[in-house]
Structure 1
Amino acid sequence: GKSCASGGVIPWVKLLNDTAIAVNQGGRRAGAVTVSLDSWHLDVPEFLEIQTENGDQRRKAYDIFPQLVVTDEFMRRVRDNRDWTLFDPYEVRIKFGIELAELWGSQFEEQYGYLETNLDNDANPQLDINNPKLTLYKQVSARELFKNIMRSQVETGMPYLAFKDTINKANPNQHEGYIPGVNLCCESWSNVTPGKFAHTCNLDSLNLANIESEELPYICQLAVRLLDNAIEITTPPFVESANHNDRYRTIGVGAMGLADWLAKRRFSYTNLSEINALFEDIGYYCTHASMELAKERGSYPAFAGSEWSKGYLIGAKPVEWFCENATKSERWLQLSQDIQLYGIRNSHITAIAPNTSSSLVQGCTASVLPVYSRFFYDKWAKGTVPIAPPFISDRFWYYTENKTLSQDIVIKAISTIQRWIDTGISMELIFNLNAGVYFPNEPERSLKAKDIFETLMLAWESGCKAIYYIRTVQKDGYKDTTSECASCAN
């Protein structure tokens, strides 16, 4: 064997898995850990099996939350049905001095392509010790690998998918590093540096069910100020978190109750112009509030050299984009000028969390997703809770049920919202595997792998930054409500 060499990443993931079990707040709440792996890593095939029922149970980790970090180059090869090469990062580092994990966009594509020309194979053997070749690699079909990703997602709900290039293109702090992956709920992230800066989530959410449009400016300003104050009065549990708070002052104002907001106004998730206008306002008011805080308290320390300092706005997009796409372009132009003059208090400002539990306390639907069902029972460890939206009696038919809704509609709505959210959105997708659900004219037809594949590709192509859980309604585990019962419920 090789001295000091391990058997890949899986044994180390298992250590994290057992740590999460051990740190359980005295038995009251289990620890939660997400582990990310880049899609070019040699251990990806086994990583995709880490929570499936088949295989060696000694190499399983059922208590962590795996995520796969994918690049645009990988997704293009999936789309075009081309080959993909898996590398050992250590061999790449030792022989070529390249840290693939730290690269994204054109830099990644250039170096990745270079490595593929230096494989030790019959067509390109290593003949000269001064011209090293890579021996630890595996070439696979990108599409077949993606099918394995889908298979794991349908079976286990994971891995999460983080679209690395989309995330980093929108990073306002490109001058100080890169974003390697996403957090546990796929909505909050920023630059991290091992041993120095650890991303810290500082989040709150607007309850859209109870907010009127004229209240938005004040509520957004209050939400931003609240989170900035929270950074001041909070003592993080370890120094890297404190360093990150001090350097980047990352916050995430989110939203819950979008399904209620739509139903209240007799809209649906296909009313993209109305959804767009709502989140343009939220994005503007929150960004403006952070600029006003900078006047009062100063910019975040890493502001100089950031995309913000260059006049770029949400998602590191140039002000010209806002002039072309915003409903009120003048205010964005003024905001860009004000930020260059006064700075901005927080490097990231908006992020939409899942809100599964907090929305129950708030009396609204969770996050910005359609309600799973108009009425259902949610089973928890301590009991079963009946769940119904707040306006169900008056707006019954305007609550679209996610369990029967085409997820293409969900993705188009989320990608519309994402334009105005500078960090991420916890986007959970639900696929109903029963016949006739999505195809009313073909009652015997059920969802196929090809349909799920096209939906996931749409998420990437539409500019979504990450995919959270994949949920499935299993065959024979679903019975549609009859029209008679639905009428009675109204």
Structure 2
Amino acid sequence: LQNALFKKDLQFASGAAIEFNDEFMEAISYYAYSASSELAGERGTYNSYKGSKWDRGILPQDTVDALEDERGVKVDVPRGGKMDWRPVREAIAQNGMRNSNVLAIAPTATISNIMGTTPCIEPNYTNLFVKSNLGGDFTVLNSVLVNDLKKEGLWDSDMIDQLKYFNGELAAIEGIPNHLKQKHQTVFEVGYEAIIDAAARRQKWIDQSQSVNLFLAQPDMKSLSHMYRHAWHTGLKTTYYLRTRQASDIEKSTVAKADKKSFTPEQVQACSIEAMMNGEECEACQ
């Protein structure tokens, strides 16, 4: 998502970016549900299709009003979209659906770092950081920011040092144009409201749910209450992890490093199993 917003030159927390979330998720759901209905026409519906919401002509976007009626409290998300859904509804009424569940958004974590992109539906965690897992440590650098700074003639060793010193955040670095500071806001600068609002726009088109991580630099009960109440009022089905700032920062000077502990395959497997049993995630195998 963040890379797409970079290409469109949109700030993550902007109104235009929130609208973009609505638009692209509508398009994805439109063609995904159409494809499942087409498959049902060829191969038949899934076994328990009869009596399902699909069978009753209820699509995910129709359930927002039902949720509001059930709660008796306004669900604060705009209704409707930009596409003509009549052909999809007609196809489902005629063919049914091949899949009982079609869409969900899962986390990507380490995979995104390896592929040089951002995790799934999240803003940049920061513009420069060191990520550690059982496979080792590796530096994650926002390549779009590097290109933007090069265009401004600002990319040099001094800029790298400042990025390290300010933990990959641009707000306090002098000389960087304000539009770049806004464009490259980190996940803690963006704020949870924009992340939740974008997720709410996507949610109305998704039949299952999303892994929506939320971020607070220094969580307190008041902030947590406001954050999760906002998620509830916008109709989110679920959230995922609550992320806070790590106690350790990017290495700012050359220091002697201790030898990295090595792990046997059995230890790596045990780590992964233990993490899953505790409801956590182990990034060693991603």
> One fold, TM greater than 0.5?
yes
Which of 326, 333, 345 in structure 1 is aligned with 2:81?
326
Alpha-carbon RMSD: 2.5
Please give the alpha-carbon distance, in whole angstroms, between the structure 2 residues aligned to 1:389 and 1:289.
Answer: 36
Identity rate of aligned residues, in percent? 27
Query: Which secondary structure state, in structure 1, belongs to the residue aligned with residue 229 of structure 2?
Result: helix
SS of the equivalent of 2:55 reads helix
Name 1:355's counterpart in structure 2.
Answer: 108
Task: Choose which of 210, 217, 224 in structure 2 pairs with 1:452.
Answer: 224
Once the 2 structures are TM-superposed, how far is the Cα of residue 361 of structure 1 from its aligned partner?
4.2
Question: Which amino acid is 2:34 matched to?
Answer: H
Of the three residues 281, 301, 305, the one matched with 2:51 is 305
Aligned partner (choices 413, 423, 437) of residue 208 of structure 2: 423
Q: CA deviation at 1:388?
A: 2.8
- Per-residue CA deviations over 1:251-296 (Å, capped at 9, x if unaligned) read xxxxxxx010001111122221122111111111111111111122
Higher Cα Rg, which structure:
1
Q: Distance in 2 between matches of 1:335 and 1:359?
A: 33
Question: Relative to structure 1, is the Cα distance of residues 416 and 477 closer, same or farther in structure 2, using a 3 angstrom cutoff?
Answer: same
Partner letter of residue 290 of structure 1?
S
Residue of structure 2 aligned with 1:365, choices 105, 113, 118: 118
One-letter amino acid of the counterpart of residue 92, structure 2: I
Using structure 2 for the length normalisation, give the TM-score. 0.65
What TM-score, normalized by structure 1, do the two folds share? 0.39
C-alpha distance in structure 2 between counterparts of 1:469 and 1:336, whole Å = 35
Q: Are residues 385 and 425 of structure 1, via their aligned partners in 2, closer, same or farther at CA, if it must alter by over 3 Å?
A: same
Give CA deviations for 1:321-353 in whole Å, capped at 9, x if unaligned.
xxx61112x2x1221111010111111111111
Pick from 341, 346, 355: which aligns with 2:99?
346
**Letter of the aligned partner of 1:392 in structure 2?**
L
Mark the runs of 5 or more structure 1 residues left unpaired by the alignment.
1-257, 434-446, 482-490
Amino acid at match of 1:266: D
Q: Is 1:467 the counterpart of 2:236 in the alignment?
A: no
CA contact (8 A) 1:266 1:395 kept: no
Tell me, in whole angstroms, the C-alpha distance in 2 between the residues paired with 1:319 and 1:390. 42
8 A Cα contact 1:319 1:336, kept in partner? no
* Per-residue deviation, residues 88-117 of structure 1 (Å, max 9, x unmatched): xxxxxxxxxxxxxxxxxxxxxxxxxxxxxx
Contact 1:314 1:422 in 2 (8 A): yes
8 Å CA contact 1:260–1:389 kept in 2: the answer is no
**1:308: how far off?**
0.4
Corresponding position of 2:8? 265
Structure 1 position 448, deviation (Å)? 4.2
User: Which structure has more RCO (C-alpha within 8 Å, separation ≥ 6)?
Assistant: 2
Match of 1:379 in 2: 132
CA distance in structure 2 between the aligned counterparts of 1:455 and 1:372, rounded to whole angstroms: 18
- Corresponding residue of 1:193: none
Superposition pairs for residues 256-295 of structure 1, below 5 Å? 258-269=1-12, 270=14, 271-295=17-41
Contact 2:200–2:235 (8 Å) recurs in 1:
yes
Q: Secondary structure at the match of 2:144?
A: coil
- Structure 2 distance, partners of 1:295, 1:412, is 36
Q: Which letter does structure 1 place at the counterpart of 2:189?
A: T
Superposition deviation, residue 310 in structure 1: 1.4
Q: Which amino acid aligns with 1:338?
A: A
How is 1:187-266 mapped onto 2 (pairs within 5 angstroms)? 258-266=1-9
Distance in 1, Cα, partners of 2:206 & 2:94:
23
- In terms of fraction of residues, the more strand-rich structure is 1
Q: Using the alignment, how far apart are the partners of 2:120 and 2:100 within structure 1?
A: 23
Partner AA of 1:411 in structure 2:
I
Q: For 1:472-483, what aligned pairs fall within 5 Å after superposition? A: 472-473=244-245
1:299–1:285 CA distance, 2 compared to 1 (3 A): same
The Cα of 1:318 is off from its aligned counterpart by 8.7
Q: Please, which runs of 5 or more residues in structure 2 have no aligned partner?
A: 67-78, 150-179, 253-286
Query: Offset of 1:314 from its aligned partner?
Result: 2.4
Give the SS at the match of 2:230. Answer: helix
CA contact (8 A) 1:351 1:422 kept: yes
